[in-house]
């Protein structure tokens, strides 16, 4: 070091010795020599200042990188945090399970509705009940009319007929004719039905009606019932029979219609007691094959008692035929009467 610290020397202090000087790692004599050279050499003074500045910046940066002091929380706080995490996890599981059940029920409802709609739309009875468009319907096969009970006078007149007339063969039934029946719900397009006779094997399916019954046409039936004739939409009407009731009471009505399968369906609407009695006699004749729909309420009758007070007469509707009960219930629910 004695060779470069003289005033005439052009050598300068090395950078490593400057670092050692700033670290105070040199002896006292070496520090005196460096300080004497720095007092005379401007170049070494600038170098010393640059080295000192770099060291200060490095020290400042290292001071920010030192690890922070960590003090663990109390044990009670750790236990409380653990219980909070368990409660939050349980609430999340319950919430997700509830959402899953709700989604599953919605999916099941949608699929069930789609399946029911598909099943009902493809069922022939559902298509028949839901179709309210007036159209021309044809009777299935040749049929003959239901024979009504003859009165005593008519029986005597037939017995008194000439023997020659008795021996003659009966005339063949006339060809079916089309009759346009006016429908109150659609006056623009009349409801067209085919009036035909009943087949011999279906005559026993018609309901034998006891008592005073009257076969009427569609317009007279509408007038007697206040435009409330019970009819299955889309099926041809073969006959309408009524049995008049007491004063202020709508008559008991039986509408005979023919299903596309050829079976006869009879829609009965009237006072509840009379309908129940008629159904009991009807089903009692053939309980194995004949069925009836569940009676459903129809608009009641408003009757007056002798003392001037009024009361409501309960009326019901039912359909009988040789079809399953579910099919009869579907068709009965499709009949709507005015209140």
Q: What is the pLDDT of residue 313?
A: 82
Dihedral of CA atoms 162, 164, 170, 174 in degrees, nearest 10, equals: -70
**Domain spans in the chain, listed from the N-terminal domain onward:** 15-61, 76-122, 132-141+177-333
* Low-confidence residues of the chain: pLDDT under 70: 1-10, 66-68, 122-211, 306, 308, 339
Contact 242, 216 (CB under 8 A): yes
Question: What are the C-alpha distances in Å from 324 to residues 151, 291, 319, 321?
Answer: 36, 7, 11, 8
CA-CA distance, 125 to 261, in Å (whole number)? 10
- Which residues in the chain belong to E strands, given as ranges? 177-183, 186-195, 214-216, 237-243, 252-258, 264-271, 291-292, 296-304, 310-321
CA distance linking residue 253 with residue 268, whole number of Å: 6
Residue 122 belongs to what H/E stretch? helix 75-122
What is the predicted pLDDT for the residue at 108? Answer: 93
pLDDT for residue 211: 61
Q: Are 142 and 247 in contact (CB under 8 A)?
A: no
Strand-pair category, 252-258 with 264-271:
antiparallel
> Computed over its alpha carbons, how large is the radius of gyration of the chain?
54
pLDDT tens digits for range 270-314: 888 889 888 888 888 888 888 899 998 888 888 777 676 777 888
């Amino acid at each position: 070091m004695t060779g470069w610290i003289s005033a005439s020397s052009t050598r300068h202090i090395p950078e490593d010795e400057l670092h050692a000087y700033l670290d105070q790692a040199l002896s006292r004599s070496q520090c005196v020599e460096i300080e004497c050279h720095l007092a005379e050499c401007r170049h070494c003074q600038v170098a010393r200042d640059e080295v000192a500045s770099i060291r200060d910046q490095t020290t400042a940066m290292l001071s920010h990188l030192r690890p922070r002091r960590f003090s663990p929380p109390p044990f009670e706080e750790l236990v409380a945090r653990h219980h909070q995490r368990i409660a939050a996890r349980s609430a999340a599981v319950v919430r997700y399970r509830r959402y899953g059940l709700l989604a599953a029920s919605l999916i099941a409802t949608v699929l069930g509705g789609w399946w029911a709609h598909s099943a009902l739309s493809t069922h022939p009875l559902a298509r028949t009940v839901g179709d309210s468009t007036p159209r021309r319907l044809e009777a299935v096969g040749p049929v003959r009319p239901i024979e009504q009970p003859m009165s005593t006078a008519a029986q005597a007149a037939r017995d008194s007929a000439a023997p020659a007339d008795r021996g003659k063969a009966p005339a063949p039934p006339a060809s079916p004719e089309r009759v346009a029946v006016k429908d109150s719900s659609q006056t623009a397009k009349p409801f067209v039905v085919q009036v035909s006779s009943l087949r011999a094997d279906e005559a026993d399916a018609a309901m034998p009606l006891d008592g005073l019954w009257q076969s009427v046409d569609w317009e007279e039936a509408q007038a007697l019932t206040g435009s409330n004739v019970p009819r299955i939409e889309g099926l041809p009407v073969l006959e309408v029979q009524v049995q008049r009731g007491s004063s202020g009471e709508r008559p008991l009505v039986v509408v005979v219609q023919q299903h596309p399968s050829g079976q006869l369906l009879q829609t009965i609407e009237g006072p509840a007691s009379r309908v129940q009695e008629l159904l009991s006699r009807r089903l009692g004749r053939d309980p194995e094959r004949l069925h009836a729909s569940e009676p459903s309420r129809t608009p009641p009758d408003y009757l007056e008692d002798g003392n001037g007070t009024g009361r409501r007469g309960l009326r019901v509707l039912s359909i009988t035929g040789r079809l399953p009960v579910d099919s009869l219930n579907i068709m009965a629910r499709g009949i709507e009467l005015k209140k």
